[in-house]
Amino acid sequence: NAGVTQTPKFRVLKTGQSMTLLCAQDMNHEYMYWYRQDPGMGLRLIHYSVGEGTTAKGEVPDGYNVSRLKKQNFLLGLESAAPSQTSVYFCASRKTGTPKNIQYFGAGTRLSVL
């Protein structure tokens, strides 16, 4: 049981490049989340999904897009990366019916945009 798996673990991009971060969970969870963590800023919610085929904006959605084509996967896309998007990105998931404050996190993707 791998839990929440994020790929890649590290990535360096040049300004303007695009990339997709993949989050996969094997716990059959309905809810999935993308957060970013910056020094001194704590975790900030980018987008989330309450089920397959659904997405919703969090508090910092600009510059990102997401897709949830399969229940187990949640993709985070950066269409034109900017240095301000240098951060550590965490994916999380939770099961319907469990407290929304209990989320299971992946190990993170460290992204640098030059």
Partner 1 sequence: DAKTTQPPSMDCAEGRAANLPCNHSTISGNEYVYWYRQIHSQGPQYIIHGLKNNETNEMASLIITEDRKSSTLILPHATLRDTAVYYCIVRSNFGNEKLTFGTGTRLTIIP
Question: How far is residue 13's CA from residue 3's CA, in Å, rounded to a whole number?
Answer: 27
22 binds partner 1, rule: CB under 8 A: no
Instruction: Find all residues with CB under 8 Å of 108, minimum gap 6, and list them.
Output: 6, 9, 37, 88, 89, 90
| Residue 74 found at the interface with partner 1 (CB under 8 A) | no
Among 33, 34, 64, 74, contact with partner 1 (rule: CB under 8 A)? 33
For partner 1, the closer of residues 48 and 74 by Cβ is 48
Q: Are 106 and 93 in contact (CB under 8 A)?
A: no
Q: How far is the CB of 16 from partner 1 (least distance, A)?
A: 28
Does residue 108 belong to the site contacting partner 1 (CB under 8 A)? yes
Q: Is 31 in the site for partner 1 (CB under 8 A)?
A: yes
DSSP annotation of 63 reads T
**Region binding partner 1 by CB under 8 A among candidate stretches 14-22, 52-60, 68-76, 77-85:** 52-60
